[in-house]
Chains A and B, each alone.
Chain A
Amino acid sequence: MASTLVTERVSVTPAAEAIIDQLREQHGALMFHQSGGCCDGSSPMCFAVGDYLLGSRDLCLGEVHGCKFYMSAQQFDYYKNSHTIVDVVPGRGASFSLEIPLGVRFLTRSRLFTEDELANLRPVETA
């Protein structure tokens, strides 16, 4: 029997949830934007809602622990077949992402969707 539950495109690990809670206390409502390009790119950036100007062509892939998760439409083209897991690891990253001062860095891990999941994915929304 096919599941009626929608397959989420993005999820979060308990360790990342704990950091999100800590940051939310300090900065209020948060969001993520997946970065591309060099250095600290190919990583999710965490900002206070309103600090990062979303573009009309940014896509929302879903929500993790109360934070909307965005990326540019062009980049989504390569993410559409994989589930994105927001995790956190120790390490001194650069960038303007809010967790940097804590000495940890958000990281995305990925898992390819199964055929069944692909048939029932959460639709993306424009920002």
Chain B
Amino acid sequence: MGYQRPTFQDKYENYIGGKWVAPVDGNYFEDTSPIDNGLVTRIPRSTSKDVDLAVKAAWQAAPAWGKTSAAERSMVLSKIADCMEANIERLAVVETCDNGKSIRETLGADLPIAIDQFRYFAGCIRTEAGSVTNIDDDTVSMEVHEPYGVVGAIIPWNFPLLMAAWKIAPAIAAGNCIIVKPAEQTPVSVLILMEMLGDILPPGVVNIVNGFGPEAGKPLATHPDVKKMAFTGETTTGRLIMQYAAENLIPVSLELGGKSPNIFMESVMDADDEFFDKAIEGLVLFALNQGQVCTAPSRALIQESIYEKFMARCLERIAAIKMGDPYELTTMMGAQASNDQFEKIMSYIDIGKQEGAEVLCGGAAYKNDQYPNGFYVQPTVFKGHNKMRVFQEEIFGPVLAVTTFKDEDEALAIANDTLYGLGSAIWSRDMHQVQKFTRGLQAGRVWVNCYHIYPAGASFGGYKNSGFGRENHHMMLEHYRQTKNVLISYNKNKLGFF
């Protein structure tokens, strides 16, 4: 069973103050689908003038939204989730069209997780309580949380709706209004979501401004009336976001990717059972979302003693990956998100070959007969060593770098020899061994005997160069608000200094 390419309006506008607003300068850019490189629609090419309008609209809404009860905000978030759920197929097929990923992933992962993000934060804010301390017999201290007012978010293109949900849900749950700039490659799904939401959201609470990084992203990140910035992307832009934040003395949260180690200890092969089958899938998950995941398990570390047999089974599973029409439910891998990503991946495959890494499978583009103009790459596995560039740099494609280790200490040393620390995983039947790795791995997430699951309530964020801030968890509420201490004296007597 398959889906059809969805239909779109000829062009979309910015969503500002609850209205569709044309870009002030009247310019649009073409949004294309990486599935066939065909035109999807035209999207506003906004400038600082449009960002100013959005910031103004957000501040108009902020005082009232910030004072709504948690019950009221929670209800709005729940309604957003319900609306997304009722429209899940339309949203999934739009996301597949704009991003290129297979429909089975948008239906089975992107959308359900995004929907749950709203439900999770709807619940969080109903269970919260501040704290009150009796400092002494007649002094009471209250810690009160207040929203910043207006916050900004720059969204990546690998999970356009899901990453938007990860930023919008906690920001508005905390009582802020938000301005979202979607990625240039994947702007349309969040606009269609806004269309569906209609008047569920009060005008100005969520505003969407589209455009290019230097023209629309920069004015948002430098705007003096934006009180916090959240960004998911890469390190150079991450530094730039901090530099702009320094100008305005505002906080930021950054998530900047990784080169995550996926470690397989010899005990995984103690039996050819369900768990071993799961471990094989665990390695092959490097190909999920065409490898365009910040936490992609892009380095597999396999114990020497099982390497040959384990890898042979994994290569069989990789050979069974079905590529083809992303709109078909049986297709496992779709298109890379854009031509420049495709070219970058091919350049890293070239570097890997030059450095002498052995190509165990793939190593080339995939020729999609149905969509000859799309951007497809075969799942590729390199065997090499951890100092090679394909082991150290994030390729953001379906490219796995595999190496071996002798013992636990060597596995940990290789795993942590990276600039990044976002994801990691340990596969073992030995719980004592597992404990050594869960404490020894330098990463914000350690998966034990699993990979690529993102339940709301399990925090997500980086160690080292992978950034800071913890999304997907109620901790994120703290990144979207400030704390006011109210210190009350019930004592009628003066201090006695003057």
| A residues lining the B interface (CB < 8 Å) | 33-43, 45, 52-53, 55, 72, 74-75, 78-79, 82, 89-98, 100-101, 103-105, 107-112
Contacts and interface: CB of A to CB of B under 8 A. Distances in A.
Given A53-B243, A96-B214, A110-B351, A90 B339 contact: yes
Nearest to B295: A38
B465 interface: yes
Most-contacted residue by chain A among B232, B233, B237, B340 (CB, 10 A): B340
Contacts of B465: 36-37, 74
B218 A36 contact: no
Interface of B: 29, 32, 45, 156-158, 183-185, 212-215, 217-218, 232-240, 243, 255-258, 292, 294, 338-344, 347-348, 350-351, 354-355, 387, 389, 392-396, 419-420, 465-466
B157 A94 contact: yes
Given A38-B156, A41-B257, A109-B347, A52 B240 contact: yes
Given A39-B396, A96-B218, A45 B347 contact: no
B393 A42 contact: yes
Contacts of B338: 91-93
A6 to B, nearest CB: 22
Contact of A107 (B238, B347, B419): B347
Contacts of B217: 96
Contact of B213 (A34, A41, A79, A95): A95
24 contacts: A35-B234, A36-B236, A36-B394, A37-B235, A37-B420, A38-B234, A38-B258, A39-B156, A43-B234, A45-B237, A52-B240, A53-B243, A74-B465, A89-B340, A93-B341, A95-B234, A96-B213, A97-B214, A100-B214, A101-B45, A104-B340, A107-B343, A110-B351, A110-B389
Nearest to A94: B183
Contacts of A107: 340, 343-344, 347
A112 B354 contact: yes
A90 B340 contact: yes
B158 A101 contact: no
Given A45-B236, A94-B184, A75 B419 contact: yes
B466 to A, nearest CB: 7
B344 A42 contact: yes
Contact of B212 (A33, A78, A101): A101
A49 to B, nearest CB: 14
A45 to B, nearest CB: 5
B257 to A, nearest CB: 3
A108 to B, nearest CB: 7
B213 A109 contact: no
Nearest to A44: B236
Contacts of B213: 94-97, 100
Nearest to B342: A91
- Top 9 nearest A-B pairs (CB, nearest first) are A38-B257, A91-B340, A41-B234, A35-B236, A91-B339, A37-B257, A105-B340, A37-B234, A96-B213
Contact of B257 (A39, A75, A98, A110): A39
A105 B466 CA distance: 23
Contacts of A33: 236
Nearest to B236: A35
A112 B355 contact: yes
A52 to B, nearest CB: 6
Nearest to B351: A110
A78 B235 contact: no
Given A82-B351, A92-B29, A94-B157, 12 more contacts: A37-B235, A37-B256, A38-B256, A40-B233, A41-B396, A52-B239, A74-B465, A89-B340, A100-B184, A100-B212, A100-B214, A101-B29
A38 B237 contact: no
A101 to B, nearest CB: 5
A37 B158 CA distance: 13
A94 B393 contact: no
A39 B158 contact: yes
Nearest to B217: A96
Nearest to B155: A94
Contact of A92 (B214, B258, B340): B340
